[in-house]
Amino acid sequence: MGLNRPYKRIIRQLKDDSYQNNGNGRYVEHPDYAESPQQYIRAFLLIQKDLHDLFDFIEPADKNLETFSYRIHELLVRTCIEIEANCKAILTENGYIKKNKKGDLIDFNIIDYRKINKSHRLSSYEIEVPNWIGDKGTRKPFEKWLTENTLPWYKAYNDTKHNRYKNFHIANFKNLIDSICALVALLSSQFLTNDFSSVRLLSIGGNTNNGFRNGIGGYFRVKFPMDWTDEEKYDFDWEQLTNKEILAYDYNTK
C-alpha cells in the first residue's frame, strides 16, 4: 500500500510505475504543492541559456572537462546558489527547522540538504547532456550522497567562493556541468517536466527508450528513478480525490 496523498515539492512513482499517467501527475499544479514554482524555473532557464552561450567557446566534450575560466566560475556560483534556494524551499515548505543550542534558528547546510536525497531519490537521477563528445555526457550528480555528505562539485563551489586564488582551477567545466545537471535533477524531482507555462506535462511512463525524457527547458534529458518501494510510491487517483490535501514530509525526524 502506497501513499494516498502527495508531499509538498516531492514527485514519486505512482503505483503503476509511471509518474503521471491518467492525469495523476497534476498534483504538481496544485497551489499548495509549491510556492512560486515559476520563480525557480525561470532562474534555471537563464542558467541554461548562459550555458548554451558558453558552448560557443567550449565544446561539450570529455577533453574539455578540466577547462576553467572566470565565466565558468561565475556560472558555477550562480548554479549552486540556485540549488541552495531549491533545497531551502523544499525543507522550509515541508516545515523543517534547525536550531542551535540556544534555541535560535540557524541556516541550513549541506548536511541538511542531504536529507532531501531520501525523500526525492536524487542519487538515482541520471542526466544526459545532448551532443556530448565522449563517454562522460551522462551524469549522476548526486551519486556521492549514497555514501557521504560531500558532493565534489558543491565542494568546488565552496572552495572557490572562499579562496578563488588558490582554488580557481577547480571551477572547471566538469564541476559546472555536474552542478547544472544537479539543478536539472532537483527541479525534475519537484516538478516532473512542468515548466508552468500553458503547455501540459509531457508523458512520463516506464523505463523505455533507455528511460531518458526531455526535461524542463527541453534541452537536458532526464532518467527518473524507477527504484521506489511500493510503500514509497503514490497510490491515488488525483482526479477522483475530493480532498486534494498536500502533505508535509517530516524532515525533522526522518
Question: Residue 88 pLDDT > 60, yes or no?
Answer: yes
146-169: average pLDDT: 95
Q: How many CA atoms lie within 13 A of 58 on its CB side?
A: 23
The predicted structure's pLDDT at residue 1 = 75
The predicted structure's pLDDT at residue 99 = 86
Report the C-alpha gap between 150 and 84 in whole angstroms: 14
| Cell numbers found for residue 111 | 548536511
Q: What integer best gives the mean pLDDT of the chain? A: 93
Q: How far is CA 114 from CA 55, 73, 131, 149, 250, in A?
A: 31, 24, 31, 7, 14
More confident residue, 123 or 202: 123
- Strands annotated E in the chain: 126-128, 138-139, 212-214, 221-223
| Cell numbers found for residue 235 | 497510490
Question: What's the angle, vertex CA 106, arms to CA 100 and CA 107, rounded to 5?
Answer: 140
pLDDT digits (tens, 9 = 90+) for 183-240: 999 999 999 999 987 545 544 544 445 889 999 999 999 999 999 999 999 999 999 9
Question: Residue 114 pLDDT > 90, yes or no?
Answer: yes
pLDDT digits (tens, 9 = 90+) for 20-72: 998 899 999 999 999 999 999 999 999 999 999 999 999 999 999 999 999 99
Question: Residue 133 pLDDT > 70, yes or no?
Answer: yes
The predicted structure's pLDDT at residue 207 = 43
Considering the chain, what percentage of its residues have pLDDT values greater than 90? 84
The predicted structure's pLDDT at residue 32 = 97
Q: Assign 87 a pLDDT band (cuts: 50, 70, 90).
A: very high
Q: Residue 6: CB partners within 8 Å, gap ≥ 6?
A: 12, 27, 33, 234, 236, 246, 247
DSSP state of 16: T
Report the C-alpha gap between 138 and 223 in whole angstroms: 10
| Cell numbers found for residue 176 | 559546472
The predicted structure's pLDDT at residue 209 = 56
Report the C-alpha gap between 61 and 174 in whole angstroms: 10
Question: Residue 5 pLDDT > 80, yes or no?
Answer: yes
Calculate the CA 222 to chain-centre distance. 10
The predicted structure's pLDDT at residue 168 = 97
